[in-house]
Copies of this chain bind each other. A is one copy, B any other.
Amino acid sequence: MNEFMQAAIEEARQAVDTGQGGPFGAVVVHDGHIVGRGHNTVVGSKDPTAHAEVNAIREASRVLGRFHLSDCELYTSCEPCPMCYAAAYWARIPRIYRGATKHDAAKIGFDDRAIYEDLARPTVERDIPLVELEREACLEPFRYWKSKPDRVPY
């Protein structure tokens, strides 16, 4: 058994044991060591973003003290949902190892197919309508950002 996936599975079991959330776990590995662990805590922390991968990425970033994890790998007990996949993308994680598939997850009630389908639609046709409001005023902070010579890109 791969030791890092084993750790992700232990996290997943812990989520169920403690009633914190769904049966999902993840770890972030840097240089052969686990630098971030996480399991789903949506129920326990009452935080809809607290998926295993997001929790593990947040911990790894805290431990390493940086927001780019381009020298790390993510091990997750189940294929990441679009939120978690995009989180890995923003973190520049170059490789993900996954255990169960999204089809396995759908069979126990966690189906993210609707989110995939929704993201592929034009914004006006999505399940969550995206309504334009005050666009011109919202461009002002963009100009402000561009005018700051010490801005940090990410």
Contact = CB atoms under 8 A, between A and B. Distances in A.
Given A75-B133, A95-B129, A146-B108, A86 B89 contact: no
Contact of A138 (B90, B100, B135): B100
Contacts of A51: 90
A50 B85 CA distance: 15
Nearest to A65: B46
Contact of A46 (B66, B82, B85, B112): B66
Contact of A96 (B12, B66, B128, B150): B128
A71 B127 CA distance: 15
A75 to B, nearest CB: 7
7 contacts: A5-B133, A12-B138, A47-B62, A47-B67, A79-B123, A83-B87, A104-B135
